[in-house]
């Protein structure tokens, strides 16, 4: 399989020139930039949901561990979830978002807390 990357070019034959002719000196040869076909992946939000039982300190720990937040940011997001019902913890390509959400839910289960996260398509 050939994968073209940004900046690569392909040679195309201008009319009158023929590929394979032994005496070709390059005249009549034109080049054209291959269009880079790299699209940004669609993004997904990881949401944390409120519940009445998970200790605030555990939620802060989860945000630090799985989302790389410092204590202050983690506390702020935890309080947003607590008061508003949910908050976005991060925005990622689909597989990363799914993995983080599963890690959060598994960690919560292992520690017998009802904390849940879920993934939603970003707008
Ligand atoms: N509401 C919980 C409590 O009062 C704290 C909490 C915050 C739980 C955020 C989940 O995602 C959550 N202990």
CA of 110 to the centre of ligand 1 (A): 17
Q: How confident is the model at residue 12 (pLDDT cuts 50, 70, 90)?
A: very low
Residues 6+ apart with CB under 8 A from 19: 13
pTM summary value: 0.75
Q: Is 115 in the pocket of ligand 1 (CB under 6 A)?
A: yes
Q: Measured between alpha carbons, how far apart are the two ends of the chain, in Å?
A: 34
48, 49, 50, 105: which to mutate for ligand 1, most atoms within 8 A of CB? 50
Q: In this structure, what are the phi and psi dihedrals at residue 3, rounded to the nearest 5 degrees?
A: -115, 115
Q: What average pLDDT does the segment 96-113 reach? A: 98
Tell me the pLDDT tens digit for each residue of 42-94.
999 999 999 999 999 999 999 999 999 999 999 999 999 999 999 999 999 99
What is the Cα–Cα distance from 44 to 23, expressed in whole angstroms?
A: 56
More confident site: 24 or 74: 74
Q: Which atom of ligand 1 is nearest to the CA of 115?
A: 10
List, in sequence order, the alpha helices (H) in the chain: 56-67, 71-84, 94-110
More confident: 57 or 26: 57
The tokens for 22 are 């032994």
Q: Is the pLDDT of residue 99 over 60?
A: yes
Q: How far is the CA of 37 from the centre of ligand 1 (A)?
A: 44
Cβ-based neighbour number of residue 59 at 10 Å: 24
Q: Cα angle at 67 between 62 and 68, to 5 degrees?
A: 100
The band of 15, judged by pLDDT with boundaries at 50, 70 and 90, is very low
CB 89 less than 6 A from any atom of ligand 1: no
């Amino acid at each position: 399989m050939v994968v073209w990357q940004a900046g690569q070019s392909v040679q195309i034959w201008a009319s009158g020139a023929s590929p394979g002719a032994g005496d070709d000196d390059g005249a009549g040869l034109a080049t054209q930039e291959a269009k880079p076909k790299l699209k940004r992946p669609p993004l997904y939000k990881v949401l944390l949901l409120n519940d009445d039982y998970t200790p605030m300190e555990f939620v802060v720990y989860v945000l630090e561990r799985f989302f790389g937040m410092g204590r202050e940011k983690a506390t702020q997001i935890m309080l947003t979830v607590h008061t508003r019902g949910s908050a976005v913890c991060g925005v990622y390509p689909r597989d990363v978002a799914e993995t983080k959400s599963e890690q959060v839910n598994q960690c919560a289960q292992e520690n017998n807390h009802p904390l849940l996260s879920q993934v939603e398509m970003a707008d």
